[in-house]
Amino acid sequence: DHVIDYAERDILAGSVRYDVVFELGGVRSASALRSVLTTRGTLVLSSGDGGRWFGPLVRLGAAMVTSPFVRQRVCMFVANSKTANLAQLTGLIDRGELHPIVDRTYPLTEMAEAIRYFRRPHGRGKVVVTVDHATADDIDDR
C-alpha cells in the first residue's frame, strides 16, 4: 500500500513498523531490516552485496539460515528471465504501454566506464551498452 524510496527516506530511522520490507539489491543486513518489521512481518531479499567472491549469496544465505529462529518470515526473490515474459514486456514497450527508464547509454568500446557507472549507488534507470554492426564485426575478427 505504501512504497518508500530509499533515496528519500531511511526506513531504519523512526518508529514505524512495516508488514513487508522488499529490499531489492540493497546492502543492509537482514537483522537491521527485521528491526522495522511487525512481529509477523515479512522480509523479502533480492541480491545485494555480499562480498567479493560469493556476491549476494552470503547475505541471502545468512538471512535464510536465521529465518527459522525469528518470528518474521524471511524469503528470497529471484528474477527469472523466461522467454514468454520477455516477449510480453517487448510487446508492452512496442505498444507504448511500458516506458523503460534509461539512465545512460554507452557504446561497447566504453564498456569499462559503463560498468564503473553501473556499480555506483543510486542509479535512476538502466545502463545500456549499444553494439553496432561494425563493433560486432571487430569483435568477431578477434
Provide the residue-wise pLDDT of the chain in tens; the chain has 142 residues.
Answer: 677 777 788 888 888 899 998 887 666 777 888 899 998 899 888 765 444 444 555 556 666 666 666 677 887 777 777 899 889 999 999 999 998 888 899 999 999 999 888 877 666 778 899 988 655 555 555 5
In the structure grid, which three cell numbers stand for residue 31, read together? 537483522
Would you state the torsion angle of the CA atoms of residues 111, 113, 119, 121, taken in this order, to the nearest 10 degrees? -140
Please tell me what DSSP assigns to residue 8.
T
Q: Rounded to whole angstroms, how far apart are CA atoms 120 and 103?
A: 12
CA atoms within a 13 Å half-sphere pointing along the CA-CB vector of 54 = 7
User: In 10 A of CB 21, how many CB atoms?
Assistant: 22
Q: Which run of H or of E encompasses 103?
A: strand 102-107
Threshold 0.85, pTM exceeds: no
Contact 114, 139 (CB under 8 A): no
Count the residues in the chain: 142
